[in-house]
Amino acid sequence: MLVLSGIAIVVLGFALRLNPLAVVGVAGLVTGLAGGSSLKGVVETFGHAFIENRYVGIVWLVLPVIGLLERAGLRERLQALIIALQAVTMARVLVAYLLLRQLSAALGLNALFGHAQMVRPLIAPMAEAAAERTSAITNATRMEIRAYAASADNVGNFFGEDVFVAIGSVLLMKGFLQQNGVVVAPLDLARWAIPTAILAFAIHGGRLMLFGRRVQRAQPSNP
């Protein structure tokens, strides 16, 4: 039971809005000690896992390119293009990206797009520019548009990738079931991800359209 104290610290820390990095550090320390390790042992386990998981940080390599392009006027160029294209509305930008993200993830290409390489430099500025075409938007609305752009990436990614047979989660399921004496085909697991993939697109796509309508209504109509 004592090993659950780490979970309690995490829940409490996030609820109190303490710095997550500190919360996670303390939770790890407490969990390790409660599990019977020495202080040295906990630091070693933590350090080993941290180094093993460095691949998570590789995505930051794209920031110099994105920074360069933003400095060279990428955002402003996108704005000019989007304003000229009347048919491109904010909701359509986001729904199209959701679909693109989901389809590419379903083909196993979930590393192709992401928050750093697509949402920040391209998708969020396009959506903002499309929303601003007729009239100005408030700063709160701008932030909400960005949040929705990030959500389109996540929903598309999560509920597309399981349709692909060779993705980590499908292989994890197959491997774990096999360890427990249940043999299943990865293709069957992937097939049963399709109904949820369709539901995810319908639900989130619908919410993006509703959000688009809400933003449009909030704007004063053009003279």
Partner 1 sequence: MITLEHVYILSGLMFAAFALGRARDRVHPRRWRSAAFWGTYALSFLAGSHLPDLVNGILLAVLIVLGASGLARPADAAPPTERLLASLRNGNRLFVPALTIPALVLIGSLFFRYLRVGTEPLVDPSHATLIALACAVLVALLLGYMLLRVPLSAPLTEGRRLMEAVGWAAVLPQTLASLGALFASAGVGTVVGRLLTQAIPMTHGAIAVATYALGMLVFTVIMGNAFAAFPVMTAGVGLPLIVGRFGGDPVIMSAVGMLCGFCGTLMTPMAANFNIVPAALLELPDRNGVIKVQIPTGALLFVANTVLMALCVYRH
Among residues 218, 198, 199, 223, which one has the least CA distance to residue 90? 218
Q: How many CB atoms lie within 10 A of CB 24?
A: 16
**Whole-number minimum distance, CB 193 to partner 1, in Å?**
5
Work out how close the CB of 86 gets to partner 1 at its nearest, in angstroms, rounded to a whole number.
19
Which of 76-84's residues contact partners 24+ apart within 8 Å by CB, and which partners?
78/122, 78/125, 78/126, 78/129, 79/125, 79/128, 79/129, 79/132, 82/126, 82/129, 82/130, 82/133, 83/129, 83/132, 83/133
| Nearest to partner 1 of 55, 86 (CB atom) | 55
Closer residue to partner 1 in complex, CB, 85/184: 184
Q: CB 223 → partner 1: shortest distance, Å?
A: 26
In the chain, the amino acid numbered 153 is D
Closer residue to partner 1, CB minimum distance, 46 or 216: 46
| CA–CA distances in Å: residue 190 to residues 29, 165, 175, 210 | 38, 6, 14, 30
Q: What angle do CA 103, 104, 110 make, to 5 degrees?
A: 130
Tell me the closest approach of the beta carbon of residue 158 to partner 1, in angstroms: 4
CB 190 within 8 A of CB 172: no
Closest CB to partner 1 among 44 and 135?
44
Nearer to partner 1, 141 or 222 (CB): 141
Tell me the closest approach of the beta carbon of residue 221 to partner 1, in angstroms.
26
